[in-house]
Amino acid sequence: MALHKFRFASLVYLTSSRIILLSFAIPILLGAFLLALPVASSNGNSVGWLDALFTATSAVCVTGLAVVDTGSVYSLFGQVVIMALIQLGGLGFMTYSVLVAIVLGKKIGLKDRLLIQQSTNALSTRGIVRLSIGIFVAALIIEGLGAIVLTVRWMADMDFATALYYGIFHSVSSFNNAGFALWPDSLSRYVGDPVINVMITLLFIFGGLGFTVIIDLWKNRSWRKLSLHSKIVLLASGVLCTAGFLVIVAIEWFNPATFGSLSWSERLWAGYFQGVVTRTAGFNTIDIASMMTASQFFMIFLMFIGASSGSTGGGIKTTTVVILLLALISIVRGKSDVQIMERRIAPSIVMRAMAVMVISVGVVLAATFLLTLSEHSLQKDFMEVLFEVTSAFGTTGLSMGMTPELSAPGKLIIIFTMFIGRLGPLTLAFALSQKHSQEKYRYPEEKVLIG
């Protein structure tokens, strides 16, 4: 009896990773319930539990993949629910918990601070409450400015009330890297519009940098004073965005299916937008399925990397890639330490980056394998399946048109992939593992041949 109680206690033991898991799972289930209600549908009929669950997961995980058109299928109530889920999923449940605790006058203890630190990917617990408040304030300011600019622009196309609603919805969706749009063709009608291209990309680029970087930039405003994390994120993001723009423009410039009907300026805007949107944003201004295979493959690579740690985006994160590249360079040069900008990276960080990479590759390969089995009847090209899975894992939301055609098993596969991608593969592994115990002994060391 005692053993049974012990096992049950170990199963229900809530570590910080399990609490973070529940902080995403509970809003998803609640959102699915609300979106399945007839009032959430534009025609008064429920969209169905599976489609509601898919949409709720995509919103909370700030992905943007949609099995039905958001603007026409969901009512105003349903769209507001989706927008609320995007905001909750982007900023994180823990951030809102801190605000509620402050309003209620509750004391935030050490355990709570450690939990907030893990959920926000902060470097330490020092100033964690101020960080949470800063995250909320920064999000409101940036989203507010974005909504104003977009509202003013869309007032030329629609009445003020509609323009205001569209501005708020797309500002929230952009900054949180969700990619939900209220048009069936996403933002294709604005392929050459400078205001829409600049404002939408600025929103999701800022959201993809991470709140710690945004706050660091606001406080210091000097490259020399920035933290090492912020410097790595800014450099990596700049390189990836520039590479995305140049590669997409170079490959698609003479593709008649995408750039053929566009002017020179529209081609540059389209190349810029598609080049940076793979940072887990999910919008598109040209048909992704009509792009060259080389462009699609390069976008898969960028989606897999994703945004930065502590941001509203997904993927393995830019810092993970940089750390692994630095480790590779150190091994090739025969150095024992991983170094950058006159700083040494701890071996535990390198091991964590390796674990994230290995688990992430495994998740993408496994989900791709399962999706090729479940969607065999669709006769989809392998590139289309891999693109869909990587987009789900990187919480990007781009699709080559496969999402609306998914079968029930296929939708479940993508749902789990989006959830793992947003939660983080390493956090999920910690959440599913048993309580860690201190090692009391070490085995003898022996060499193994590598390479």
Spatial distance between the Cα atoms of 384 and 311, rounded to a whole number of angstroms: 27
Q: What is the mean pLDDT of the chain?
A: 86
Position 335 in a domain = yes
Spatial distance between the Cα atoms of 309 and 424, rounded to a whole number of angstroms: 10
Tokens for 340? 């950058």
- Of 71-85, 126-140, 280-294, 413-427, the poorest mean pLDDT is in 126-140
Output the 3-class SS for 129-168: HHHHHHHHHHHHHHHHHHHHHHHHHHCCCCCHHHHHHHHH
Question: What is the model's pLDDT at position 348?
Answer: 87
Position 343 in a domain = yes
Q: Are 20 and 48 in contact (CB under 8 A)?
A: no
Position 9 in a domain = no
Cα 400 to Cα 63, 349, 380, 384, distances in angstroms: 15, 35, 10, 6
- Residue 292 in this model has a pLDDT that exceeds 50: yes
Position 194 in a domain = yes
- Which residues in 407-445 are b (16+ Cβ under 10 Å) and which e? eeebbbbbbebbbbbbbbbbbbebbeeeeeeeeeeeeee
- Percent of the chain predicted with pLDDT > 70: 84
Spatial distance between the Cα atoms of 191 and 295, rounded to a whole number of angstroms: 18
Chain position carrying tokens 């600025």: 202
Q: Give the helix/strand (H/E) hosting 235.
A: helix 228-252
Position 7 in a domain = no
Position 326 in a domain = yes
Phi, psi (5° rounding) for residue 158?
-150, 175
- Residue 263 in this model has a pLDDT that exceeds 70: yes
Spatial distance between the Cα atoms of 58 and 90, rounded to a whole number of angstroms: 11
> Could you tell me the maximum CA-CA distance found in the chain, to the nearest angstrom?
76
Question: What is the model's pLDDT at position 91?
Answer: 80
Position 450 in a domain = no
| Secondary structure percentages of the chain, helix, strand, coil, to 5 | 65, 0, 30
- Of 80-94, 106-120, 223-237, 325-339, the poorest mean pLDDT is in 106-120
- CA atoms in the 13 A half-sphere facing the CB of 144: 6
Position 4 in a domain = no
- Angle 90-94-98 (CA atoms, 0-180°, nearest 5)? 120
- Give the model confidence (pLDDT) of 435-445 as tens digits: 555 667 778 88
Q: Are 214 and 227 in contact (CB under 8 A)?
A: no
Helix axes 228-252, 318-332, angle to 10 degrees: 100
Global pTM value:
0.88
- Of 36-40, 122-126, 437-441, the poorest mean pLDDT is in 122-126
- Residue 422 in this model has a pLDDT that exceeds 80: yes
- Give the model confidence (pLDDT) of 172-192 as tens digits: 999 999 989 999 999 999 999
Its domain, for residue 234, covers 19-432
Question: What is the model's pLDDT at position 241?
Answer: 94
CB-count exposure of residue 199 (10 Å: 0-12, 13-18, 19+): buried
Question: What is the model's pLDDT at position 4?
Answer: 44
First-residue to last-residue Cα distance in the chain: 51
Phi, psi (5° rounding) for residue 74?
-95, 145
Spatial distance between the Cα atoms of 399 and 117, rounded to a whole number of angstroms: 33
Q: What is the mean pLDDT of residues 267-291?
A: 92
pLDDT tier, 121 (very low <50, low <70, confident <90, very high otherwise): low
- Residue 88 in this model has a pLDDT that exceeds 80: yes
Q: What is the mean pLDDT of residues 42-58?
A: 95
Please give the tally of structural domains in the chain: 1
Q: What is the mean pLDDT of residues 227-238?
A: 92
pLDDT tier, 6 (very low <50, low <70, confident <90, very high otherwise): very low
